Chain A
Amino acid sequence: MSTDIRTRVIGYLSRYFPVSDLADTDDIFKRGFVSSMFAMQLVAFVEQEFAVVVENEDLELDNFRSVAALERFVRGKLSAPVAS
């Protein structure tokens, strides 16, 4: 599952960034790849691709700043108990 998440995240980012030299821990915000619109696209991508709901408390930069962070965040959302 984890590898699959990583592959799908990289697949999405590759449509917008040069990912060949992007390490999993590279900060995509610091590298200037993320506009405010793309930040919203990332939220929409995570929700649509992995069928999760991004909540207010999830909107931490640390959840979105790198491939590794996105992978960790999605894994956490998928393993969290579904709220009633």
Chain B
Amino acid sequence: MSTTLDRARAVDDGLLGSAHVAACAGFAEFVDRRVVPIADDLHRSQYTPPQVIDELGRRGLLGLPIPAEYGGGGCDAVTLGLLAAELGRGCSSLRSLLTVHTMVAHVLARWGSRAQRETWLPRLASGECVAALALSEPEVGSDATAVRTRVERDGDELVLHGHKKWITYGHVADLLLVVARGPEGPTAVLVERSRPGVRTRLITGMIGIRASMTADVHLDGVRVPADHLLGRPGLGTTQIAGTALDLGRYTVAWGSVGIIAACLGASVAYADTREQFGAPIREHQLVRRLISDMYADYHASRLLCLDAGVRRDRRDPAALPAASLAKYTASTAAVRAASDAVQVHGANGCGSEYPVQRYLGDAKVMEVIEGTTQLHQVGLADHAFHEFGGFK
């Protein structure tokens, strides 16, 4: 396995400044010491213990990108990406916690009222409160505008009825950002888990991110004050989910880079020591090809993530398609890398003694969440036709 020193050296590629390299070294040290040793247990138990979430909060990692005026770390996008990559290298479930929590925080910071920001952001920054995005439903996935969960006004309250599904960390989140159908169309509403009528059921047996406390969320006549409306009624998908998913794509892309790094670390270590035909398998050319493909994918994906991060930090509008390109490239590359890592490990890769089978399931999930590979391909094709083919 790679050491913290190796990781710091690996990211110090001349593209990052010293502050980013130092931040990444700190993230890597934490992940190696506190996350990697427990990741397989979390995966097997399909459970994230509350003390693990507490530790991420106490260390300021969950609140890292939240503006400093609300008690967060106020970090830039590149730093957030480096954290997502390191967490993703250690445990994709915990990386997915960072993703959903920061998505909600980001939307609150960008579109929340002053009262909403002052109420929620300090609690999200400290980790006292965990947030999740409740968008998908049993019959609603990629076409988020078709949500069936209903929200209606009743005097000074909003009343929600419906069923959300595949809600990452939905089983433990204290705050749910729910997108529901109102009279004006999809509408975003903040719902505390403690409200009567909120009921969750843990989903087990998933292919990956098995410790992500993913849940069915039932909303049975849940009442919240009308000031829990977030953003404009009718713009719950374009404005609110769109803003959230843009950041989600970005951290998932970096998390995928982390998976590729983990695959490389495991595969290089294994190929160094495993002997077949009288030699370490690192000397067999077809094994070297698998390693070299992973290596090229790692660097290409990481560069696209860095490009997306630098654009976010410059407030460049092209950061949106850049995050899509990074997510598409890194998640598909992570699936290739994880499949090849299992191949390098042979039968050992198919069992639970080595982490590579966990990486394979986790990587596949990266291709599905925050926009499927196919949805990104549709959008990226448009960009290709515009960029290289002129207008028709």
Contacts and interface: CB of A to CB of B under 8 A. Distances in A.
Nearest to A19: B391
A47 B242 CA distance: 17
B320 A40 contact: yes
Nearest to A21: B391
Nearest to B319: A44
B231 A45 contact: no
A18 B391 contact: yes
Interface in B338-392: 379, 382, 386, 391
A59 B232 contact: yes
B317 to A, nearest CB: 4
Interface in B66-93: none
Interface string A50-68: 0000001101000000000
Given A16-B386, A17-B391, A35-B379, A41 B238 contact: no
A84 interface: no
A59 B391 CA distance: 28
Contacts of B22: none
Given A17-B391, A35-B382, A40-B246, A59 B239 contact: yes
A79 interface: no
Contacts of A18: 391
B229 to A, nearest CB: 10
A9 to B, nearest CB: 12
Nearest to A15: B386
A37 B321 contact: yes
Nearest to A57: B232
Of A39, A40, A57, the most chain B CB neighbours within 10 A belong to: A40
Contact of B315 (A12, A15, A47, A56): A47
Given A37-B324, A56-B231, A44 B242 contact: no
B243 interface: yes
Interface string A1-36: 000000000001001111000000000000000011
Contacts, number: 47
Q: Taking chain A's interface residues, is the majority helix, strand, or loop, or is none over half, making it mixed?
A: helix
Contact of A59 (B235, B317, B382, B386): B235
B370 to A, nearest CB: 13
A45 B235 contact: no
Given A17-B391, A56-B232, A39 B317 contact: no
Contact of A44 (B111, B237, B315, B379): B315
B165 to A, nearest CB: 22
A63 to B, nearest CB: 12
Contacts of A56: 111, 231-232
Contacts of B52: none
A44 B317 contact: yes
Given A35-B382, A36-B242, A48-B315, A41 B231 contact: no
A37 B320 contact: yes
B320 A44 contact: yes
A40 B316 CA distance: 12
Contacts of B243: 40
A48 B237 CA distance: 22
B279 interface: no
A37 B328 CA distance: 15
A13 to B, nearest CB: 11
Contacts of A16: 386
Among A18, A45, A59, the most chain B Cβ lie within 10 Å of the Cβ of: A59
B318 interface: yes
Contacts of B386: 15-16
Nearest to A14: B391
A44 B321 CA distance: 12
Interface of B: 111, 231-232, 235, 237-239, 242-243, 246, 314-321, 324, 379, 382, 386, 391
Given A37-B320, A45-B317, 10 more contacts: A12-B317, A18-B391, A36-B237, A37-B321, A40-B238, A40-B242, A40-B246, A47-B315, A56-B111, A59-B231
23 contacts: A12-B317, A15-B386, A17-B391, A18-B391, A35-B382, A36-B242, A37-B320, A37-B324, A39-B238, A39-B242, A41-B317, A44-B315, A44-B316, A44-B317, A44-B319, A44-B320, A48-B315, A56-B111, A56-B232, A57-B232, A59-B231, A59-B235, A59-B239
